[in-house]
Every structure is written in structure tokens, then in C-alpha cells.
Structure 1
Amino acid sequence: MCFVFVCDEDERVVRREKAKGVCPYCGGMIQAVDVESQWRLFFIPISFKTKRKYYCTLCLKCLVL
């Protein structure tokens, strides 16, 4: 029996901008990043989503609101 993984997720950064506040871990500046993700099955796009993620510029931790 052979199982082949045929799904793929592609993420790319659309834009970055400065966000308000400071990092609770190190006190660094926070950056808001808009990321587009696209799921594909056999090279055919299935799902397309845009997400906003927050990162610290010093310690590079992903922050959850």
C-alpha cells in the first residue's frame, strides 16, 4: 500500500506594519503581519484565507491577543 501526500499549503506575507504596544516578554516593538494562505490539492486551489499575525521584532515570538 502506498500513500502519497497530495495537499500543500502555501503562505506568503502580504504586508507588515507597526502595531501598538510592546512585547510582554522582552519589551520590544510589535509588528503586525498580514499572511495569505492557500491550500492546494493536485495543484488546484481549494481554500484561500488572509490572517493577521503579531510578532515581536526583538525576540521573534508570535503573540496571541
Structure 2
Amino acid sequence: MQASRRPEAGSVIDPALERGVTWDLRRHQEEHGPFSDEELAKARAKIFGSADTSKGADAV
């Protein structure tokens, strides 16, 4: 069995995986309502590696 590894930066995400993730997010929103600003900020920090989300181009 081949060990799973994280995709390298700039690599393309498998379309089937992307569809599965999109489906999971939509289902979560249908069951629990829209994501809060806090939840979205935490997700962005995990994905992009930044804990400070107030210094982006869209900061107020």
C-alpha cells in the first residue's frame, strides 16, 4: 500500500477530491447554517498558515 502524502505547493487538487470536499461543505451548511466569520477565519489560517487575518487586502 502506498503511503499518502500531502500535495506539493502549486500542485493541482484531484477533481474527485475537490467535489467531495465541496459536497461536505454544502451539506454542513444545509444542516448547520452558514459558517461564521470566526469559523472562516480559522479555516483560512489553517489553509494559508496565517494566524493574523486582519492584515489582508480586505481588512477594514
Asked which structure has the greater CA Rg, the reply is 1
Fold match, TM over 0.5? no
Instruction: Name the TM-score, length of structure 2 as normaliser.
Output: 0.20
Which has the larger helix fraction?
Answer: 2
- The answer to which structure, 1 or 2, has the higher relative contact order (CA under 8 A, 6+ apart) is 1
In proportion to residue count, which structure has more strand? 1
